[in-house]
Amino acid sequence: MRVLVPGGAGYIGSFTVRELQRAGHEVVVFDNLVFGHRDAVDAELVIGDLADTAGLDSVFERGKFDAVVHFAAFIEAGLSMEDAGRFFENNTGNSIRLLNAMVRHGVNMLVFSSSAAVYGDPVRIPVRETDDTNPVNVYGETKLLIERMLPWYERVHGIRSVALRYFNATGAALDGSIGQDHQPATHLITVAIMAILGLREKFVLFGDDYPTPDGTCIRDYIHVIDLAEAHLAALSRLQGGCPSETFNVGTGSGHSNWEVINAVKRTTGVDLPVEIGPRRPGDPAELVADASKLRKTLDWEPRCSDLDTIVGSAWKWHCTHEHGYEA
């Protein structure tokens, strides 16, 4: 298939582009490179913004696309609470522009990059797709609004979709060739490694008084390679004519912040000093996926999401790319 990938030069997008290419798909990446990187992809790259309707139409007019895999979005939940309009305009507004372009150009399959942030404070652990969705930040609401639009675009325009609700994406290519390079860095493992490499003044752990066994937040860490393979499986499902669906993408197992920090120390051999800071607003104590639906429906299993593989791959990437793709 010929696949358009908005946001394909970003972290998760670039890994998914690799998997799509390995599966024999023809990929065109559409990215404004605000957070994406030219060197992250070895595919046709069109530099552009979803806010530019004419530019978006010109990409669709270059040749018939069979599907879209949509990653383009702002992702910083904390920043979303400082500038709501910017996030709604970029994430939700630009997704509407993309969907309308798909309608105009007759593309009727979409894999959408959603988030576990749609759940807010979970009512139970592990979280199921049928649980209540009550975002506690603007970022989560932008993703949920898009999810709510998708059934209407199917009903009115025939666009079938799979929405993938990611939990904590992390890790890097096992050979260290590509990885996470997002500024500002906010992910726990990335921030810890940057502190060890002297790229951050200190490492702050936000909260050690949560109602968890060691007092720190528990999260479900999914290796970005496994996440990319879930996108490929979702696209294959649509290609096979299956109906629209929503899936959690996680491992079903959680690790506390202290467990992750200790894994970083173990992998690097460095006893990272940890400063305890206050809780961050909106951080639930525990967030772990029930990914049984994804496993059963798409015959998907995580291959690289054990904590040592995750941390080891991230360490290899950052050691050889201290300044990301500029190194």
Confidence (pLDDT) at 284 = 84
pTM over 0.75: yes
- Condensed to tens digits (0 to 9), the pLDDT of residues 164-186 reads 999 999 999 999 999 999 877 88
Which one is catalytic: 139, 166, 210, 221? 139
Confidence (pLDDT) at 275 = 96
Domain ranges of the chain: 2-169+221-249, 171-219+252-326
**Does residue 119 have an active-site annotation?**
no
Confidence (pLDDT) at 327 = 58
CATH number of the domain located at residue range(s) 171-219+252-326 in this protein: 3.90.25.10
How many CA within 13 A on the CB side of residue 116? 29
Burial grade of 308 (CB within 10 A; 0-12, 13-18, 19 or more): exposed
Confidence (pLDDT) at 282 = 73
**Superfamily of 2-169+221-249 according to CATH:** NAD(P)-binding Rossmann-like Domain (3.40.50.720)
Sheet of 286-287, strand order: 255-256, 218-219, 286-287
Low-confidence ranges of the chain (pLDDT < 70): 327
- Condensed to tens digits (0 to 9), the pLDDT of residues 220-231 reads 999 999 999 999
